Amino acid sequence: MRRELHALILALLGATLFKLAWTGQYTRYVKPGVRGYLYAASVVALAVAAVTLWQSLARRRVAVPAHTDQGHSDSHHHSDDIGLDDGHGHQHGRFDVAWLLVVPMLVLLAIAPPALGSFSAARSGTALGAAPASNLPPLPDGDPVSLSVLDYASRAVFDHGRSLTGRHVTLSGFVLPGDAGTWYLTRMVITCCAADAQPIKVGLAGTVPDGLKPNDWLQVTGSYTTQQDRDPVNQAAIPFITVTSSTPIPTPARQYES
């Protein structure tokens, strides 16, 4: 039974990895570039599960139960290896704790947890902890220019907005409530996977839609302002953008920046 259980767990793991890669839900947990590796891992896990199950069933087919007294004695000793004797010849099988892995695997296969959002961002300081290389390149042509939240925040804090002055930019992210009615446009930034995710926060000055709720996604267009806040978690600088227009948007498929 133990080998069948191991095969089942491997099969569920492989199926889960394949589902996440196929549906694109894997981007909730890892960077987009690892999709091929997830497909490869799912194939390996499913192949190992199939081989393990086939070997276990083959052994069951060739096993011949003994009916002699000696065979009964041997069977009794064998049963002692897999169960507990209550003193009256009745065996009680031990519960294999590996079965406990089946439930979370089934849940993950059926329902993929959401990407990290405002709950995690509110408990982590903005990730602008150290200045990047100086001499940031100028913004590309166009008005407005689409930037990542990380790019805007880096230019606003470390370049003091020099490359942003006089330009209109467009950012998108989910909203996070701050003190005194302030809203922060936020994106989680990952290096490898969701385990190392950290938020980048940009304060919204100007006009924002009424009735905002944490985790609502917005696309905002605006311009640089010298206004800044201090993150209450790590005291790092949070730049602001003066919003001239904003539009609620659906949750994007790729919610993390990197």
pLDDT, residue 153, reads 94
Residue from 226, 124, 122, 213 nearest 175 by CA: 213
Report in angstroms the alpha-carbon separations of 248 from 32, 60, 117, 221.
24, 60, 16, 12
**47-51-57-58 Cα dihedral, nearest 10 degrees:** 150
Residue 220 and residue 185 in contact, taking contact as beta carbons nearer than 8 Å = yes
pLDDT tens-digit map of 152-209: 999 999 988 999 999 999 999 999 998 888 999 999 998 878 777 899 999 999 888 8
pLDDT, residue 229, reads 93
- How far is CA 22 from its chain centroid? 16
pLDDT, residue 37, reads 83
Residue from 32, 64, 48, 10 nearest 192 by CA: 32
Give 62's strand partners: none
Rg of the chain, C-alpha, whole Å: 28
Give the C-alpha separation, 75 to 69, whole Å.
10
**41-44-45-46 Cα dihedral, nearest 10 degrees:** 120
pLDDT, residue 8, reads 81
- Which residues in the chain land under pLDDT 50? 66-70, 73, 75-92
pLDDT, residue 97, reads 60
Give the C-alpha separation, 134 to 119, whole Å.
33
Strands, E, within the chain: which ranges? 83-85, 91-93, 145-146, 168-177, 183-189, 198-206, 217-230, 237-248, 256-257
In this structure, the strands spanning 198-206 and 237-248 are parallel
Handedness of CA 93, 98, 100, 106 (dihedral sign): negative
Give the C-alpha separation, 81 to 99, whole Å.
19
Q: Is the pTM of this model over 0.85?
A: no
3 state SS of 58: helix
pLDDT, residue 83, reads 45
pLDDT, residue 66, reads 47
**172-178-181-187 Cα dihedral, nearest 10 degrees:** 0
